[in-house]
Chains A and B, each alone.
Chain A
Amino acid sequence: MRRRIRPQITDRIATATLYLVAGAFVLLLVAFVGYFLYSGRSELNFKFLFTEPAFSTAGGGIGPELFNSIYLVFLSGLISVPIGIAAGIYFAEYAKPGRLTDFLRLSIETLSSLPSIVVGLFGFLVFVILTGWKFTLMGGALAVTILNLPVIARTSEDAIRSVPESIKEGSLALGATRWQTIVRVLLPSALPGIVTGIIIASGRAFGEAATLLYTAGMSSPRLDFTNWNPISATSPLNPFRPAETLAVYIWKINSEGLVPDARQIADGASAVLILAVLAFNLLARFLSRLLGRRFGGSRS
């Protein structure tokens, strides 16, 4: 009898503990987000969100910074998502298992552990000096891509690998080529995992500061938000202009800011950042569901 009861008790205890841990975690997040929303509440208004920052007086906004952050994540995603997923597919399906592949995989994992300032200085030498672009949004996006690629590639590879072998074999048995199997069967099944990777990577891009100090710069030129011609120097869409992102702005204001309301701005900007990450997250989930339905239409 004792033998049968004890596992059930441990089961109860374990379940309760897991609930406790998960609950504590959610509570921590609520406290975290609540803390920032509460301390940043006075700044969460349209004026703060859409006006230009000030350098010596109170009342500046974060308009250009917010735009730059979103645009940078978008640009870097445009480059890193296709390459990352493709590299993930390569390592999951095509790379010949062996020492070299293992070594490359290891190197890629290691790449994601580089301190971002090192990537920033590499980006500075390559994207700022070598290309002659000087400080540009594009340079920043490319530097962030270096940080993001390993994460996306790694998570994509894992997601593709974790699709059950039987599904893959079924597809191949039906006469589909390997590539067809990958695109039509493996990718849709792996999509949730891939999306997780992309969200993690984009979150990192959104919050990245050290890399961008040396590549995208710490100031925005005058921007004319009515000018949507991407080649024009004053257009916000021009990727070849310096750009200060929200995270860089928070860093700057905390460390060297002279404005009297630095603390409020930092709090407000942090709150906006958290809300933006939240919104971004929801969008990504929505997209993933949409794509999943489209690709995996026959399954559901």
Chain B
Amino acid sequence: MNLRKITALASIVILSLAMVLTGCQAAPSATSAPTATTAPTTAPTSTTAPTPTASVTTDPGTTAAPTATAAPTATTAPTKAPTPKPTATPVPLSGTLISAGSTALQPLAQQAATEFMALHSLVSVTVNGGGSGSGLSQVNSGAIDIGNSDVYASEKLPADAADTLVDHKVCVVGFATVLNPGVTGVTSLTQAQLISIFTGVTTNWNAVGGPDLAIVIINRPASSGTRFTYDKYALNGAVEATGIALTEDSSGTVRSTVASTPGAISYLAFSYLDATVTAIGFNGIAPTADNVKNGTYKIWSFEHMYTKGTPSTLEQAFLNYMVSTTFAPQIIALKYIPISQMTVLTH
């Protein structure tokens, strides 16, 4: 009898475990199921990705509708965003909004969330990091409402998944080449010089007008959005040599590593520049917000917020707030660039 009780208890436990097990295996198989079908399509995407012209022309094409809607809101939001609120007060905004993804966009999104929640007391907005790739997969799988990304969704997701996401460009971010302050005499590098450095051909600073000091390359991981943008616009898609560069996971660690490593070169978003590193020009043009706006400084990209399909009222309100004039001073304060101030929208 005792034995029976034990076996009964054990079987209950095993049964419940099995239930959890099957439930969980449903999850991976659910996620891996699309893999099976999309695997063939991923290969072409990754092969077309490195050709910058192709993806640049196709991306605005495929996301033409969202860009068209997002761009006008960017300029008209100032008048639009505040007005619907008083008139629409009968139904105040409420609910929760979860966004995740790009760590580069996170501080800005978090600031926006705080201010947005101050305006709408019934709304709760949470902002998570995790990286652009995870942000895009999560919004695609429906785990979150808004996926933040440094790059176009088509760079990360299989084409059919990327097509279901709607792009909202929220701001522009510029990237600067940064050097350890010990590298004196170098104030700007040309594209050819940068390619030569990052592919491991030039290995000493004296070849580009600096001191006699070995060059130490500090990279972001190959999957990083920042590295993608930098490779595309600063290095013209050149393949960086592996095995000669240190890799740092985040902008913060890149900055402190460049600051402390003699002869170091890396790249950072404008928002991370400070006195501990020397930011230098590209092709003779200084890395300033003004030069990005007027199109002379080429290393910049859009920051994206993706929604699954058409955004809900709440999502749209938050996205509107991100590009509103109310929020523009914050964007500028954090050294991002509001899209409304850009005179060029392509590289």
Write the A49-88 contact mask toward B (1 if CB under 8 angstroms, else 0). Answer: 0000001100000000000000000000000000000000
Considering the complex, give the chain A residue whose CB is closest to the CB of B274.
Answer: A260
Chain A hits for B176, CB < 8 A = none
- Beta-carbon contact of A256 and B104 below 8 Å: yes
Assembled-state Cα–Cα distance A300/B272 (Å): 61
- Beta-carbon contact of B128 and A218 below 8 Å: yes
- Beta-carbon contact of A55 and B249 below 8 Å: no
The residue among B96, B110, B249, B272 with the most chain A CB atoms within 10 A of its own CB is: B110
Chain B hits for A129, CB < 8 A = 27, 141, 143
- Beta-carbon contact of B334 and A258 below 8 Å: yes
Chain B hits for A126, CB < 8 A = 24, 27
Quick one: given A128-B143, A130-B27, A254-B252, are A213 and B128 in contact (CB under 8 Å)?
A: yes
- Beta-carbon contact of A213 and B129 below 8 Å: yes
A91 CB within 8 Å of chain B = no
A170 CB within 8 Å of chain B = no
Write the A237-260 contact mask toward B (1 if CB under 8 angstroms, else 0). Answer: 000001000000000111111100
B81 CB within 8 Å of chain A = no
- A226 to nearest B CB, angstroms? 15
- Beta-carbon contact of A56 and B333 below 8 Å: yes
Tally the A-B contacts, defined by beta carbons under 8 Å.
90
Chain B hits for A219, CB < 8 A = 110, 113, 126-128
Assembled-state Cα–Cα distance A252/B100 (Å): 13
Assembled-state Cα–Cα distance A135/B272 (Å): 28
Chain A hits for B31, CB < 8 A = 125
Quick one: given A129-B27, A130-B27, are A221 and B114 in contact (CB under 8 Å)?
A: no
Write the A205-240 contact mask toward B (1 if CB under 8 angstroms, else 0). Answer: 000000001100111111000000000011000000
Q: Which of B231-289 contact A (CB under 8 A)?
A: 249-253, 271-272
Q: Which of A5-55 contact B (CB under 8 A)?
A: 55
Chain A hits for B84, CB < 8 A = none
A256 touches which one: B96, B103, B111, B126 (CB < 8 A)? B103
B144 CB within 8 Å of chain A = yes
Assembled-state Cα–Cα distance A258/B274 (Å): 10
Considering the complex, give the chain A residue whose CB is closest to the CB of B110.
Answer: A55
- Beta-carbon contact of B24 and A130 below 8 Å: yes
B106 touches which one: A221, A233, A256 (CB < 8 A)? A256
Considering the complex, give the chain A residue whose CB is closest to the CB of B103.
Answer: A256
Write the B111-131 contact mask toward A (1 if CB under 8 angstroms, else 0). Answer: 101100100000011111110
Q: Which of A115-130 contact B (CB under 8 A)?
A: 124-126, 128-130
Assembled-state Cα–Cα distance A252/B130 (Å): 10
- Beta-carbon contact of B23 and A214 below 8 Å: no
Assembled-state Cα–Cα distance A119/B134 (Å): 15
**Binding site of A, secondary structure by majority: helix, strand, loop or mixed?**
loop
A186 CB within 8 Å of chain B = no
Assembled-state Cα–Cα distance A219/B126 (Å): 6
How many positions in chain A have a CB within 8 Å of any CB in the partner chain? 29
- Beta-carbon contact of A221 and B124 below 8 Å: yes
Assembled-state Cα–Cα distance A101/B337 (Å): 61
- Beta-carbon contact of A218 and B127 below 8 Å: yes
Assembled-state Cα–Cα distance A262/B98 (Å): 25
Assembled-state Cα–Cα distance A217/B128 (Å): 6
A134 CB within 8 Å of chain B = yes
- Beta-carbon contact of B127 and A56 below 8 Å: no
Considering the complex, give the chain A residue whose CB is closest to the CB of B125.
Answer: A221
Considering the complex, give the chain B residue whose CB is closest to the CB of A214.
Answer: B130
- Beta-carbon contact of B250 and A255 below 8 Å: yes
The residue among B124, B134, B333 with the most chain A CB atoms within 10 A of its own CB is: B124
Chain B hits for A254, CB < 8 A = 250, 252-253
The residue among B129, B330, B333 with the most chain A CB atoms within 10 A of its own CB is: B129
Quick one: given A56-B107, A128-B143, A233-B124, are A256 and B251 in contact (CB under 8 Å)?
A: yes
Assembled-state Cα–Cα distance A183/B31 (Å): 45
Chain B hits for A242, CB < 8 A = 98, 126, 128
B86 CB within 8 Å of chain A = no
Chain A hits for B126, CB < 8 A = 135, 217, 219-221, 242
B107 touches which one: A213, A220, A256 (CB < 8 A)? A256
Considering the complex, give the chain A residue whose CB is closest to the CB of B31.
Answer: A125
- A162 to nearest B CB, angstroms? 27
Q: Which of B72-102 contact A (CB under 8 A)?
A: 96, 98, 100
Assembled-state Cα–Cα distance A256/B251 (Å): 6
Considering the complex, give the chain B residue whose CB is closest to the CB of A129.
Answer: B143
Quick one: given A56-B333, A126-B24, A217-B126, are A255 and B113 in contact (CB under 8 Å)?
A: no
Q: Which of A133-147 contact B (CB under 8 A)?
A: 134-135
Assembled-state Cα–Cα distance A55/B143 (Å): 25
A130 touches which one: B23, B113, B271 (CB < 8 A)? B23
Assembled-state Cα–Cα distance A254/B248 (Å): 12
- Beta-carbon contact of A134 and B143 below 8 Å: yes
- Beta-carbon contact of B103 and A255 below 8 Å: yes
Chain B hits for A234, CB < 8 A = 124
Chain B hits for A222, CB < 8 A = 117, 124
- B146 to nearest A CB, angstroms? 13
Chain A hits for B113, CB < 8 A = 219
- B55 to nearest A CB, angstroms? 26
- Beta-carbon contact of B98 and A135 below 8 Å: yes
- B262 to nearest A CB, angstroms? 21
- A61 to nearest B CB, angstroms? 14
Assembled-state Cα–Cα distance A257/B129 (Å): 11
B61 CB within 8 Å of chain A = no
Chain B hits for A55, CB < 8 A = 107, 110-111, 114
- B143 to nearest A CB, angstroms? 5
B40 CB within 8 Å of chain A = no
Give me 21 A-to-B residue pairs in the complex whose CB atoms sit less than 8 angstroms apart, sorted by A's number.
Answer: A125-B31, A130-B24, A135-B100, A214-B130, A218-B100, A218-B127, A218-B129, A218-B130, A219-B113, A219-B127, A220-B126, A221-B124, A222-B124, A233-B96, A234-B124, A242-B98, A252-B106, A252-B129, A254-B250, A258-B107, A258-B271
